[in-house]
């Protein structure tokens, strides 16, 4: 089944935002076995949108649009689609009631302009929006589907997960994919260690370097789900044999989720002491629902006073070795572990940049400290010049050290 | 002059990579005053690409393609374009000479497969690639231009900066844009408060809701730069008059940058005490280079013990009012302000979800605490069910309260 995506909005054509909606839809539609053939972007222009809809519905079985469904004057998608499918507009009071109820729950009076959301094309089915005010719409004509979604990524994604993907998923799959996520190993090293000829007897291999590490994507073709499963699991087995210890998860699993799973499973607790990562390590560890079971506290000790007061780093350590040093990393980890009364203390100290480096301690330098019941140690990393990327990579390195410790715990 | 973008590659249609080339081109073409009307993505498929080229060259004056220009079997763009423009292919030895020279400079022997780069369509002009092996191509026909570029972002960008943008820039600008960024006010309320008829006498208005708030984009048309400037500044003035206090920045400026600017300017310092935002507030505040000048410490006090030990929240407050309460928010802010010896203490406590809510304290509930030299107070917010979105929105609310305090400071 061929699918096509139309993303709508001037903000995409002036480059104000990157088209993450197209990437999200492409990825998830491919993952449920559909073939995405075209993706088109048009501005908030009725004529262009109508032309794009017409071309797409000729070529493809399913067309998904995002954007232009809000309550204001520049949101034209609903009317253009109604026009294209020759549908009258009708007012559905039950939509207003639901919206009023949602606003009331949050203690906010609903602005009158939102009532417009309840005027919808008669020929469309309503797709409920679990997290916002603009409902999605589904038109069906001559065996083809046109699915109209809002452009706010969180709303679009929530509707897709609740309704659109389950609805489109109901046919036999002939393509299957699996992503194997690694961290702590370079793309070129992976390439050298893996026996690509053997793996590609089962599935095509693609390497995708990311800030979080390198993902390996397997794509298998076959006649039915069992064949796909078997080919993918053969491919995965060959990869695990060679580079298993660098694999932290599969598909969309993030490193922090893998760490959280281990913490839950082994009933261990953690506290973190951050300098250069500035709270990002705590943020990642608390992104998981239920994290209060394992996360006790985090300290972002930017000043030396905070390092001494809250973490108990001795003044002499800071004076002798400096704030960015293996010694400081270790005492930070030990301090937060002891104060938090937890199993693991993890610390970061480094130079995030882009300024503040010296010849001995360049921008991108990082020490991660680890303390547990039996030992404390630090590990050194050197990254690049970009502050935000350095924070991301530093947190990834710290989480991976914690993951390795947990596997042994 | 209307421009259209065609991005080529299976990797875009399976969602393996986000289409940053389209965003880059859109942004820079708009910035030099061109109007980008459509953007299309097709896979590595000759038939689709030919159809896309044909449709684009009918609609627009300039078509830019990226991707499919490499030396391997799945790179089809050059041949499809030659076919479309009915051009023979010719071998240009000077291209091979240049490539050999480039490889020699880097001390590498050129792989034979690169010789294919020297076979080019006879009707195309060569656009030199200053950083890679695949040259760009320019076809001109009936007053229209078709510019064929490689897909590797660094190569595409280098060719654009050296040749494509200067070539296309040779006319007076007729479109100008400005984005006004607001937070703490709903899209529907903005729509009701602004006098759109008056503003649109100067510039077209578009509302773009984001997690960070609502952006208002003004687009003006005019004969020259001064006219555009004047129209945009008239539009901005009308918006500032009605909703000025919700505006935190313009164009790409983030809320944390606006806050950092105020902190630098007024030489104030801040420390944060987070519960439900789990480190994200500290992370945002430390994303700015030089943040150690204003950011003293952050505490992520997930456990009640951490709230008592590190922030000095009295046990009675926690027992009587609970961890998620205005009272706890205020004592957290006061505690971190006092321990950090800073001008502002900011705290967050709430229920990020998706579980853990009760009837009285639902998921999405947030209290932000603020403490300064003169007063302490808290403010209540209610968001939705999604944990990560709640963390983002909560941090945005906290940063905005800090911004408002700083404006008065």
- The CATH 3.40.980.10 portion of chain A extends over 2-168
pLDDT average, residue stretch A83-87: 95
Q: How far apart (Å, rounded) are the C-alpha atoms in residues A221 and A238?
A: 18
Q: Do A13 and B289 touch (CB under 8 A)?
A: no
Give residue B170's pLDDT: 65
Q: Is A175 helix (H, G, I), strand (E, B) or coil?
A: strand
Mean pLDDT, chain B, rounded, equals 92
Sign of CA dihedral B32, B35, B41, B44: negative
pLDDT average, residue stretch A196-201: 93
Nearest CA to B269 out of B288, B296, B289, B290 is that of B296
Distance from the A370 Cα atom to the nearest Cα atom in chain B, whole angstroms: 19
- State CA B24 to chain mean position distance: 11
Give residue B172's pLDDT: 67
Q: How far apart (Å, rounded) are the C-alpha atoms in residues B165 and B188?
A: 39
CATH number of A175-250: 3.30.70.2860
Using CA atoms, how far residue A349 sits from A333, B290, B312, B386, in Å, is 10, 16, 26, 31
As assigned by CATH, the class of the B255-408 domain is: alpha beta
The answer to whether residues B363 and B387 touch, using CB atoms and an 8 Å cutoff, is no
Q: How far apart (Å, rounded) are the C-alpha atoms in residues B91 and A243?
A: 44
**Percent of chain A residues topping a pLDDT of 70:** 99
Q: Is A319 helix (H, G, I), strand (E, B) or coil?
A: helix
Give residue A159's pLDDT: 96
The answer to whether residues A365 and A350 touch, using CB atoms and an 8 Å cutoff, is yes
Residue B90, CB-side half-sphere exposure with 13 Å CA sphere:
12
Vertex B158, ends B156 and B164: CA angle to 5°?
Answer: 75
Strand partners, B177: B219
Q: Do A278 and B298 touch (CB under 8 A)?
A: yes
Q: Which chain A residues touch B45 with a CB distance below 8 Å?
A: 37
The answer to whether residues B405 and B266 touch, using CB atoms and an 8 Å cutoff, is no
**Residues A33-73: pLDDT tens digits?**
888 999 999 999 999 999 999 999 999 999 999 999 987 77
Optimal mutation site among A278, A343, A352, interface B, most CBs of chain B within 10 A: A278
Strand extents, DSSP E, A280-319: 295-301
pLDDT class of A219 with cuts at 50, 70, 90: confident
- The CATH 3.30.70.2860 portion of chain B extends over 175-250
Based on the number of CB atoms within 10 Å of its own CB, is B307 exposed (0-12), middle (13-18) or buried (19 or more)?
buried
Give residue A82's pLDDT: 95
A318, containing H or E segment: helix A315-321
Q: Do A286 and B292 touch (CB under 8 A)?
A: no
| pLDDT of A17 strictly over 90 | no
Tell me the residue length of chain B. Answer: 409
Per-residue pLDDT of chain B (409 residues; tens, 9 = 90+): 889 999 998 888 887 778 899 999 998 998 888 889 999 999 989 999 999 999 999 999 999 999 998 776 668 999 999 999 999 999 999 888 888 887 787 777 777 777 888 899 999 999 998 877 788 999 999 999 999 999 988 889 999 999 999 999 866 677 888 999 999 998 889 999 999 999 999 999 988 888 889 999 998 988 888 999 999 999 999 999 999 999 999 988 999 999 999 999 999 999 999 999 999 999 999 999 999 999 999 999 999 999 999 999 999 999 999 999 999 999 999 999 999 999 999 999 999 988 888 999 999 999 999 999 999 999 999 998 889 999 999 999 999 999 999 999 8
Q: Which chain A residues touch B19 with a CB distance below 8 Å?
A: 18-19, 22-23, 39
Give residue A221's pLDDT: 87
Q: Is A30 helix (H, G, I), strand (E, B) or coil?
A: helix
Q: How far apart (Å, rounded) are the C-alpha atoms in residues B63 and B168?
A: 11
In the numeric block, which tokens belong to residue A238?
Answer: 């060959």
Q: Is A65 helix (H, G, I), strand (E, B) or coil?
A: strand
- The CATH 3.90.950.20 portion of chain A extends over 255-408
Q: Is A321 helix (H, G, I), strand (E, B) or coil?
A: helix
Q: Rounded to the nearest 10 degrees, what angle do helices A304-311 and A326-340 cross at? A: 40
Fold of A2-168: Molybdenum Cofactor Biosythetic Enzyme; Chain A (3.40.980)
Residue of A nearest to B186 (CA): A111
Q: How far apart (Å, rounded) are the C-alpha atoms in residues A147 and A137?
A: 6
Distance from the B140 Cα atom to the nearest Cα atom in chain A, whole angstroms: 24
Eight-class DSSP state of A144 = E
Optimal mutation site among B6, B35, B39, B396, interface A, most CBs of chain A within 10 A: B39
Annotate chain B with three-state secondary structure.
CEEEEEEECHHHHCCCCCCHHHHHHHHHHHHCCCEEEEEEEECCCHHHHHHHHHHHHHHCCEEEEECCCCCCCCCCHHHHHHHHCCCCEEECHHHHHHHHHHHHHCCCCCCHHHHHHHEEECCCEEECCCCCCCCEEEEEECCEEEEEECCCHHHHHHHHHHHHHHHHCCCCCCEEEEEEEECCCCHHHHHHHCCHHHHCCCCEEEEEEECCEEEEEEEEECCCHHHHHHHHHHHHHHHHHHHHHHEEEECCCCHHHHHHHHHHHHCCCEEEEECCCCCHHHHHHCCCCCHHHCEEEEEEECCHHHHHHHHCCCHHHHHHHCCCCHHHHHHHHHHHHHHHCCCEEEEEEECCCCCCCCCCCCCCEEEEEEECCCCEEEEEEECCCCHHHHHHHHHHHHHHHHHHHHHHC
Q: Which chain B residues touch A301 with a CB distance below 8 Å?
A: 297
Give residue A169's pLDDT: 84
Q: How far apart (Å, rounded) are the C-alpha atoms in residues A320 and B139?
A: 66
Question: Which residues does A98 contact at the CB level (< 8 Å), separation at least 6?
Answer: none
Q: Do A296 and B305 touch (CB under 8 A)?
A: yes
Tell me the residue length of chain A. Answer: 409
Distance from the B39 Cα atom to the nearest Cα atom in chain A, whole angstroms: 5
Strands A204-210 and A213-221: antiparallel
Q: Do A38 and B52 touch (CB under 8 A)?
A: yes
Optimal mutation site among B20, B26, B274, interface A, most CBs of chain A within 10 A: B26
**A47 inside 8 A of chain B by CB:** no
Q: Rounded to the nearest 10 degrees, what angle do helices A326-340 and B304-311 cross at? A: 120
Strands A376-382 and A365-371: antiparallel
Conformational region of residue B408, where left means phi above 0, alpha means psi within -120 to 50, and beta covers everything else: alpha
Count of other CB atoms within 10 angstroms of residue A7: 28
pLDDT average, residue stretch A11-35: 88
Give residue A272's pLDDT: 98
Higher pLDDT, A187 or A79: A79
What separation, in Å, do the N-terminal and C-terminal C-alpha atoms of chain A show?
48
Q: Do B40 and A41 touch (CB under 8 A)?
A: yes
Optimal mutation site among B66, B74, B188, interface A, most CBs of chain A within 10 A: B188
Give residue A251's pLDDT: 87
Q: How far apart (Å, rounded) are the C-alpha atoms in residues B347 and B334?
A: 9
Q: How far apart (Å, rounded) are the C-alpha atoms in residues A103 and A82?
A: 27
Give residue B216's pLDDT: 94
Q: Is the peptide bond before B354 cis (omega within 30 degrees of 0)?
A: yes
Q: Do B206 and A74 touch (CB under 8 A)?
A: yes
| Residue whose structure tokens are 């970009």 | A386
pTM, rounded to two decimals: 0.80
Q: Counting one residue from A and one from B, how many pairs have CB atoms under 8 Å apart?
A: 293
Nearest CA to A390 out of A211, A214, A256 is that of A211
Q: Do B41 and A38 touch (CB under 8 A)?
A: yes
Percentages helix, strand, coil for chain A (3-state, rounded to 5) are: 45, 25, 30
pLDDT average, residue stretch A152-180: 88
Sign of CA dihedral A393, A397, A402, A403: positive
Q: Is A387 helix (H, G, I), strand (E, B) or coil?
A: helix
């Amino acid at each position: 089944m061929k699918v096509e995506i139309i993303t709508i909005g001037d903000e995409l054509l002036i480059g104000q935002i990157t088209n993450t909606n197209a990437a999200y839809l492409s990825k998830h539609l491919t993952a449920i076995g559909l073939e995405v053939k075209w993706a088109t972007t048009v501005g908030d222009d009725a004529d262009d949108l109508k032309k794009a809809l017409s071309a797409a519905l000729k070529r493809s079985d399913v067309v998904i649009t995002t954007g232009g469904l809000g309550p204001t004057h520049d949101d034209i998608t609903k009317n253009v689609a109604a026009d294209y499918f020759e549908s009258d507009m009708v007012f559905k009071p039950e939509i207003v009631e639901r919206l009023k109820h949602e606003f009331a729950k949050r203690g906010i009076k609903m602005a009158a302009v939102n009532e417009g959301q309840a005027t919808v094309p008669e020929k469309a089915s309503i797709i409920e929006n679990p997290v916002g005010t603009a409902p999605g719409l589904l038109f069906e004509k001559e065996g083809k589907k046109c699915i109209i979604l809002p452009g706010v990524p969180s709303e679009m994604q929530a509707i897709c997960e609740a309704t659109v993907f389950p609805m489109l998923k109901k046919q036999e799959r002939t393509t299957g994919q699996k992503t194997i996520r690694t961290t702590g190993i370079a793309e070129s090293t992976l390439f050298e260690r893996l026996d690509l000829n053997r793996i590609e007897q089962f599935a095509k291999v693609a390497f995708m370097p990311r800030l979080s590490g390198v993902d390996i994507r397997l794509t298998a073709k076959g006649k039915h789900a069992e064949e796909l499963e078997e080919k993918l699991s053969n491919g995965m087995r060959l990869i695990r044999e060679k580079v298993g210890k660098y694999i932290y998860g599969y598909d969309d699993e993030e490193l922090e989720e893998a760490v959280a799973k281990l913490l839950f499973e082994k009933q261990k607790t953690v506290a973190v002491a951050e300098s250069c990562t500035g709270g990002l390590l705590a943020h990642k560890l608390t992104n998981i629902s239920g994290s209060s079971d394992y996360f006790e506290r985090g300290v972002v000790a930017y000043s030396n006073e905070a390092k001494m007061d809250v973490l108990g780093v001795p003044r002499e350590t800071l004076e002798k070795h400096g704030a960015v040093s293996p010694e400081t990393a270790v005492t930070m980890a030990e301090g937060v572990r002891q104060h938090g009364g937890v199993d693991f203390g993890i610390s970061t100290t480094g130079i995030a940049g882009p300024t503040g480096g010296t010849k001995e301690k360049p921008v991108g330098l990082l020490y991660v400290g680890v303390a547990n019941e039996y030992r404390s140690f630090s590990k050194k990393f050197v990254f690049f010049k970009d502050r935000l990327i350095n924070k991301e990579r530093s947190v990834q390195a710290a989480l991976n050290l914690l993951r390795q410790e947990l596997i042994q715990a």
